[in-house]
Amino acid sequence: MSSHPADHADLLLTGTVLTLDAQQTVLDQGAVAVAGDTIVDIGPAADLLGRFPHARRIEEPHGLIMPGLVNTHTHAAMACFRGLADDLPLMQWLQEYIFPAEAKLTAEIVYHSTLLSAAEMIRSGTTSFCDMYLFAKEVARATADCGLRGWIGEVLYDFPSPNYGELANGFAYQEELLAEYREHPLVSITVDPHAVYTCSPDLLRRLKEVADRHDVPYVIHLSETRDEVAGCRKQYGASPVMHLEKLGLLDSRVIADHCVVLEKAEIELLARRGVKVAHCPESNMKLASGVAPVPQLLAAGITVGLGTDGSASNNDVDLFREMDTAAKLHKVFALDPTVMSAEQTLGLATRGGAELLGAGAMIGSLETGKKADCIVLDLNQPHLTPLYHIPSHLVYAARGSDVIHSVINGRMVMQNRQLTTIDEPALLTEMERIAALIKKIIQR
């Protein structure tokens, strides 16, 4: 597939190759050659094995090599709150449980809790994620330490933060983050107002100016619930989408998380403005927020990616499970089995996520010149046999635990289900200690 074959490769993966390129190329006995952090060739295994005899080989006769999954909306450190408060409406969940617990967060808790989500994401096939949370420097540090690719932002809102305190400090913290990771190979910084109900119009505008000045994404929870929409109409005389439009903030830099409650005119407006949407079906289901109109968003030409949200409201960060849920949710909601095909759904978790993050030229498919972010699944299992249609298997039958190898930026971060960048036993022990601390906090 390369018109200019490389003369060197560090790593060679062989098996069935699902490229997800524009032609949807599949190679039954194929190989992916990696040099440094980049895919340098894709082709028949016999050819590449002969050309790169000195490359490290990962040969999987029953393996499926595919692009790593892209989780477009997470709060990774909220893994420490998994199961803390369930079966509640969003605002009650936030105001009575999550916000009080977050008030006691520390940098140490956020660092280790992010590593916990990172371990879960790597184990279930995610190679890139977009995160908005508190103590973002610790989120970024954990991301870099474990070798994940991340778009990381510090959430800002009108009231004091458990991290930076008063809002003025938040802007300074934002600038420090942007400076520290400006040229980082794995970590990109985003600007993240929390939502229209926690950010004044002035704060929303000021943060957009920061995002524009630094040419980075502007990530915001938007139109997640009917209560949010009703509250925004009461306070500002407009829905959240129209509120941002009146403020002049909607454009292609905006990543809108959730977008459950939308009118037809708002969908058309988001499409015209180039706004991108992160769809989080399991969180929206669990919090009973509703069903985002994703088929209509896609029909309007809006870029949509798939996200898990945080483990406190999902309660996992497994994108294989999320794909299965997404496809079936929209079918039953529309009473139409043709809605959200396996191919479309797989696209949300790969190319769609990459495009949403402005990284379509770098990740999302396996192509020569792109970054070497790929995963290998073991297809030699009862629940994956027989195999007639690969996308259908990946969406409806595969599990995160089927991923046996993961490569991010050319680095093997998991081999034979063993994490190579995270001391998993030590991390789990540390999280037990942190859980005991959190339990004491919420019992006071």
Residue 444, pLDDT score? 64
pLDDT, tens digit (0-9, with 9 covering 90-100), for 57-79? 999 999 999 999 999 999 999 99
Contacts of 40 (CB under 8 A, 6+ apart): 2, 6, 8, 9, 33, 34, 368
What's the pTM? 0.96
Average confidence (pLDDT) over 170-185? 97
Q: Cα(209)–Cα(205) distance, rounded to whole angstroms?
A: 6
Residue 118, pLDDT score? 98
Bridge partners, residue 403, by sequence: 377
Q: Are 259 and 303 in contact (CB under 8 A)?
A: no
Assign domain 11-67+365-418 to a CATH class: mainly beta
- pLDDT averaged over every residue in the chain: 96
Start and end residues for every CATH 3.20.20.140 domain found in the chain? 69-356
Q: How confident is the model at residue 7 (pLDDT cuts 50, 70, 90)?
A: confident
Assign domain 69-356 to a CATH class: alpha beta
Average confidence (pLDDT) over 305-325? 96
Which amino acid appears at position 292 of this protein? Answer: A
- Residue 34 pLDDT > 70: yes
Average confidence (pLDDT) over 319-327? 98
Start and end residues for every CATH 2.30.40.10 domain found in the chain? 11-67+365-418
Average confidence (pLDDT) over 309-334? 96
- Residue 443 pLDDT > 90: no
pLDDT, tens digit (0-9, with 9 covering 90-100), for 124-158? 999 999 999 999 999 999 999 999 999 999 999 99
Say whether 180 sits in a helix, a strand or coil: helix
Q: How confident is the model at residue 3 (pLDDT cuts 50, 70, 90)?
A: very low
pLDDT, tens digit (0-9, with 9 covering 90-100), for 79-88? 999 998 888 8
Q: Are 88 and 97 in contact (CB under 8 A)?
A: yes
Token digits of residue 355: 């495009």
pLDDT, tens digit (0-9, with 9 covering 90-100), for 193-226? 999 999 999 999 999 999 999 999 999 999 999 9
Token digits of residue 301: 């030409």
Q: What angle do CA 400, 142, 285 make, to 5 degrees?
A: 45
- Residue 383 pLDDT > 70: yes
Place of tokens 């040969």: 59
Token digits of residue 135: 């103590």
Say how far residue 395 (Cα) sits from the centre of its chain.
Answer: 17
- Residue 259 pLDDT > 50: yes
For residue 412, which of 399, 403, 421 has the smallest C-alpha distance? 421
Q: How confident is the model at residue 327 (pLDDT cuts 50, 70, 90)?
A: very high
Q: What angle do CA 321, 98, 314 make, to 5 degrees?
A: 5
Q: Cα(363)–Cα(213) distance, rounded to whole angstroms?
A: 25
End-to-end CA distance of the chain: 62
pLDDT, tens digit (0-9, with 9 covering 90-100), for 105-124? 999 999 999 999 999 999 99
- Residue 16 pLDDT > 70: yes
Q: DSSP letters along 229-273, please? A: HHHHHHHHSS-HHHHHHHTT--STTEEEEE--S--HHHHHHHHHH
Say how far residue 428 (Cα) sits from the centre of its chain.
Answer: 23
Percent of the chain's residues with pLDDT above 90: 91
Q: Cα(212)–Cα(124) distance, rounded to whole angstroms?
A: 34
Q: Are 413 and 147 in contact (CB under 8 A)?
A: yes
Average confidence (pLDDT) over 306-310? 97
- Number of C-beta neighbours around residue 415 at 10 A: 14
Residue 128, pLDDT score? 98
Q: Are 331 and 369 in contact (CB under 8 A)?
A: no
Residue 5, pLDDT score? 56
For residue 68, which of 343, 324, 408 has the smallest C-alpha distance? 408
